[in-house]
Structure 1
C-alpha cells in the first residue's frame, strides 16, 4: 500500500508489485476524496492542496510511475476514474470538481498520446455509488427515500468499469444518473447545473 499523494512512495510501487507478482498489465486509479462542504472563499489552502494532491496528482503519479512498465507488456490498460463532478459542478464542491475535471482532461490527453501503443486508456464517470465516500459526506439525493433514486452498488460499478476496460472503451458512464446528466449537460449546461443543485442535498446547503 502507498499514499498516492506521496510521489516517492508511488514511484516505488511498480518494482514492489513486480517482485511479488511478476508483471503489471493494468492500473485503475480510483483514489479520491471530497472537499469540505464549503465555498472557495471559506476553504483554506492546505485543504485545497490536499484535494488536488490526492485526486489529480495521485492519478498523475500513478500513470507516470507505471506507464514505462505497461508499455513493454503485450497488452496493457490504464483506467482513470473522474466523476460527474468532472463535467458538471457539484454544490459546495468547486475544488473537488476542478480536480476531477483535471483528471478528465489529463486522461483524454493520455489517450491521444497512447493511441498507437499497446496501452489502452479508459475514462470513467461514475454516478452515485453507495460507498463510504458518499455515506461519510452525508450527501442526500432527492427521491432516495421512495426508491425513485437508486445508487449503484460498488460491485455493480466495478463490473461496469472492468467491462469497459475489456472492451477498450474510451468512456464509461457508470450509472443512469451519469448518463442522463452527461446528456443534459451537453444539451443545456445551465439547466443541468440548476437540476443538480435541486437534486443533491449537502451538509451546509440552505433549503
Structure 2
C-alpha cells in the first residue's frame, strides 16, 4: 500500500524508530497519527515535523490500557477523516537478567507493552481497515523474536508472540483488502535501554541488540519498514545482522543460539 494520501497510525511515535517512522511517512505524503505515552516525546516529534506538522496529530495513550486504545480509532478519524494503516512499533526490553532473577512485575510489563499493546491496537483498528479500499498492518517484532538472546528471554517471548500474531493475521486476512507485514529489526541505535529501565516507562522504539558500529540508524530502520509496508512484504528483515542470523537459525538453530549466547557471555 503506497502511503501517499493515506492516514497511518504509528505507536511509539515520540522517540527513536517511531519518531523516524512518523517523519518518513510525512515526507512521503502521508498524514500521521503519532501515539505515545510520553507527551514530551510527542511534542519533540511535532517540532521535527516542520512544514508537515499540519498533517500530524498526536495522541497520548498507554497502549496497555485497552479502553484507551479502543477509543483511539474514533479520535484519529475525527481528526483526519479516515484511517488506512498502522505501524505497531512501540516496545520495551527487559533488564538484562535471566528469567530466574526477573520479577513478575517486569515480566508482566514487557508482555503487556509488547504483545497486549500490539493486540489491542490491531483489534481496535481492524474493523475500520476492513471498510477501506486498501489498508495495511505492520507489526514490529525483533531478531530476538526468532533467535534466543540470554538475558532477554521474556522480551524475546513477547516478540515471538508478535511474530505469530502477525503471521496468523496475514493468513486470516489474505482474501481481504488488508495487507499484513511483520518486521524483524536487528541492532538499531536507539535509547530503548534507557527508556525501558526508567521506572516502568512504556516507551517505544526498536531494538538495541548488537555493537554500535554495526547498528542501523533509526532513520535507516524507518526507511526499511516503510518500504516494506509500501511493497506489501510478508516479512521484513531490517539490518545485516537480522538477515544473517535468520539464515543461520533456519539452517542450524542450536549453533545460531550458541553463537549469541557465547557472544554475550
- Which residue in 2 is equivalent to 1:95? 154
Report the Cα distance in structure 2 between the residues aligned to 1:158 and 1:134, rounded to whole angstroms: 19
Residue of 125, 129, 132 corresponding to 1:66: 125
Cα RMSD after superposing both structures: 1.7
Deviations 1:9-66 (A, max 9, x none): 1001000000011110100001111111111111111111111000000000000000
Counterpart secondary structure, 1:164: helix
List gaps (5 residues or longer) in structure 2: 1-59, 198-207
Q: 1:162 to 1:140 in 2, by over 3 A?
A: closer
- Which residue in 1 is equivalent to 2:234? 170
Q: Which stretch shows the higher mean deviation, 74-83 or 125-134?
A: 125-134
Report the Cα distance in structure 2 between the residues aligned to 1:115 and 1:18, rounded to whole angstroms: 25
Q: 1:76 to 1:194 in 2, by over 3 A?
A: same
Q: Is 2:225 aligned against 1:161?
A: yes
Residue of 154, 179, 188 corresponding to 2:243: 179
Give runs of ≥4 in structure 1 deviating > 3 Å.
134-142
User: 1:140, CA displacement in angstroms?
Assistant: 7.4
- Which residue in 2 is equivalent to 1:40? 99
Residue of 178, 198, 207 corresponding to 2:262: 198
TM-score in terms of structure 2 length: 0.71
Q: Is 2:63 aligned against 1:10?
A: no
Q: Is 2:209 aligned against 1:150?
A: no
Deviations 1:145-171 (A, max 9, x none): xxxx42111111111111111110000
- Which residue in 2 is equivalent to 1:76? 135
List gaps (5 residues or longer) in structure 1: 202-206
Residue of 167, 172, 193 corresponding to 1:113: 172
Contact 2:94 2:196 in 1 (8 A): no
Report the Cα distance in structure 2 between the residues aligned to 1:124 and 1:48, rounded to whole angstroms: 23
- Which residue in 2 is equivalent to 1:189? 253
Deviations 1:62-107 (A, max 9, x none): 0000000111000100000000110001121111010000000010
TM-score in terms of structure 1 length: 0.90
